[in-house]
Amino acid sequence: MSIAYTPITPAIGARVEGVSLSNITAGDFERLYAIWQRHHVIVLRNQELTNPQFERFSAMLGELDPPPNQGAGRKSVPGHPNLYVVSNRKDGTGEPIGALGDGEAQWHTDMSYLARPPFASMLWSIELPDAGGDTCFASMPAALRSMPQQLVERIERIMIKHDGTYDSGGNVRKGVTPTDDPMHSPGTPHPVVIEQPETRERTLYLGRRRNAYIPGLSLQDSEALLDEIWGYATAPQVTMRHQWRLGDVVLWNNFTTMHRRDAFPADQFRTLHRSQIKGKYVPTAAAQEERA
């Protein structure tokens, strides 16, 4: 069976069939990579994998990052320090086995508070609740294209400081002092409009809304402009929703998407294994468009 794909929405996402990640060939990987670059998120269903196979496929994309420092700390898959666990399960001592619990995860880009953020992330579903826990993705190139020209001209010239205080579940990262002062919280400034380094596509580059700040503006003006930007970035027409099934693998580009997660019942369990591709590129401002 040859690889085939179906777009999920006009703006973002493709569902791919005809490939098994457990024994993917170099040729199939090249085809899959091209589909992913075009659609920013790819969904592969019914994948029968082991952790070594999941890690092998992940490493085809680049060097793997170890688990990030989230509210629950760094949670690796046993025996696989470069894979990590997203789960609300706890061990016999009451310690979480994974990160993010069962609450909502707000719109974000993975670890964008770093100077060289991760390039890609991937989730593989191991255990799912009866309902809830959907993951949504937003296309940052489509969001940029949807903006009025006057707004684009303004944001092409500015940067956003990406906060490093909280994880996407709103938890303070271990070892970090909590703060809700966007002007002085720890983080890294990145251009708002960047060029995707491999396709050269112009795209927004946003992180978490909480504690984000535009250097040089008053806090009030920064908050107002950021709210306007996020309104376009999370509008329904640039987003997709993924309802998980067991055996799903979802891969996304961290330079062209944001994502979020719905909450799910606390008395049910959701466990996914995750890989992340170490930063290959520094987000670089896109050239300003020529206008008549």
Question: Any idea where the domains of the chain sit in the sequence?
Answer: 4-277
Over pLDDT 70: what percentage of the chain?
97
Largest CA distance in the chain: 66
Question: What does the pLDDT look like over 92-104, one tens digit per residue?
Answer: 999 989 988 899 9
Whether the pLDDT of residue 68 is over 80: the answer is no
Please count the CA atoms within 13 angstroms of the CA of 166 that sit on its side-chain side: 20
**CATH superfamily ID and name for 4-277:** Clavaminate synthase-like (3.60.130.10)
- Per-residue tokens: 58: 């992940």
- Is the pLDDT score of 178 beyond 90? no
Per residue in 243-260, pLDDT tens?
999 999 999 999 999 999
CA distances from 261 to 134, 135, 225, 264, 272 (A): 6, 4, 24, 9, 13
pTM, 2 dp:
0.94
Distance CA(288)–CA(156), nearest Å, equals 7
Q: pLDDT band at residue 166, thresholds of 50, 70 and 90?
A: confident
Mean pLDDT over residues 133-145, rounded?
A: 98
Backbone φ and ψ of 78, nearest 5°: -55, 125
Q: How confident is the model at residue 46 (pLDDT cuts 50, 70, 90)?
A: very high
- Residue 77's beta-bridge partner residues? 80
pLDDT mean over 193-209 = 96
Is residue 72 predicted with pLDDT exceeding 60? no
Q: What distance in Å separates the CA atoms of residue 76 and residue 63, rounded to the nearest whole number?
A: 16
Q: Which amino acid is at 12?
A: I
* CB-side neighbour CA atoms (13 Å) of 102: 16
* Model pLDDT for residues 77-133, shown as the tens digit of each residue: 999 999 999 999 999 999 989 988 899 999 999 999 999 999 999 999 999 999 999
Q: Name the β-bridge partners of 190.
A: 160
pLDDT above 80: residue 169: no
Q: How confident is the model at residue 69 (pLDDT cuts 50, 70, 90)?
A: low
| CA pair distance 61, 276, nearest whole angstrom | 9
Predicted pLDDT at 70: 61
